Amino acid sequence: MKALQYNHIQIQKISNSFTRHNCFVDVLRLDALHPIISGNKFFKLRFYIDDALANQKNLTTFGGAYSNHIVATAFTCNQNNIKCKGIIRGEKPSVLSETLKKAIEYGMQLEFVTRDDFKNLLINYQTHSNELIVPEGGYGILGCKGAATINECYTQNYDYIITAVGTGTTVAGLASNTKASIIGINVLKGNDETTLHQIENLLGKNNIKLIPDFHFGGYAKKNDVLINFMNTFYKSENIPTDFVYTAKMFYGLQQLITKKYFKDNSRILAIHTGGLQGNLSLPKGTLHF
Ligand SMILES: *Cc1c(COP(=O)(O)O)cnc(C)c1O
pLDDT at res. 128: 82
Confidence of residue 20 (pLDDT cuts 50, 70, 90): low
* Alpha-carbon gap, residue 123 to 135, rounded angstroms: 10
User: For residue 44, is pLDDT > 90?
Assistant: yes
Strand partners for 223: none
| 72 and 96 Cβ atoms separated by less than 8 Å | no
pLDDT at res. 4: 73
Neighbours of 184 (CB within 10 A): 28
**273 CA distance to ligand 1 middle (Å):** 7
Q: State how far the alpha carbon of 83 is from the alpha carbons of 40, 78, 122, 135, in Å.
A: 22, 8, 20, 16
pLDDT at res. 239: 96
pTM: 0.96
**163 CA distance to ligand 1 middle (Å):** 8
**122 CA distance to ligand 1 middle (Å):** 18
* Alpha-carbon gap, residue 208 to 182, rounded angstroms: 5
pLDDT at res. 143: 98
**94 CA distance to ligand 1 middle (Å):** 27
Strand partners for 210: 184
First-residue to last-residue Cα distance in the chain: 33
Question: Average per-residue pLDDT in the chain?
Answer: 94
* Alpha-carbon gap, residue 252 to 215, rounded angstroms: 9
Which of 170, 174, 272 maximizes ligand 1 atoms within 8 Å of its Cβ, making it the mutation to test the pocket?
Answer: 170
Strands across the sheet with 181-186, in order? 11-13, 23-29, 266-272, 160-165, 181-186, 209-211
pLDDT at res. 261: 94
**24 CA distance to ligand 1 middle (Å):** 24
Question: In ligand 1, which atom is closest to the CA atom of 165?
Answer: 9
Q: What is the pLDDT of residues 65-90, one digit of tens each?
A: 999 999 999 999 999 999 999 999 99
Atom 5 of ligand 1: nearest residue by CA position = 166
**167 CA distance to ligand 1 middle (Å):** 7
Report which of 26, 22, 281 is spatially closest to residue 163, judged by C-alpha positions: 26
Do β-strands 181-186 and 160-165 pair in parallel, antiparallel, or remain unpaired? Answer: parallel
| 130 and 57 Cβ atoms separated by less than 8 Å | yes
Report which of 33, 52, 258 is spatially closest to residue 150, judged by C-alpha positions: 33
pLDDT at res. 249: 98
Ligand 1, pocket residues at CB < 6 Å: 39-41, 68-69, 137, 164-170, 242, 245-246, 273-275
Atom 4 of ligand 1: nearest residue by CA position = 166
Percent of the chain with pLDDT over 70: 98
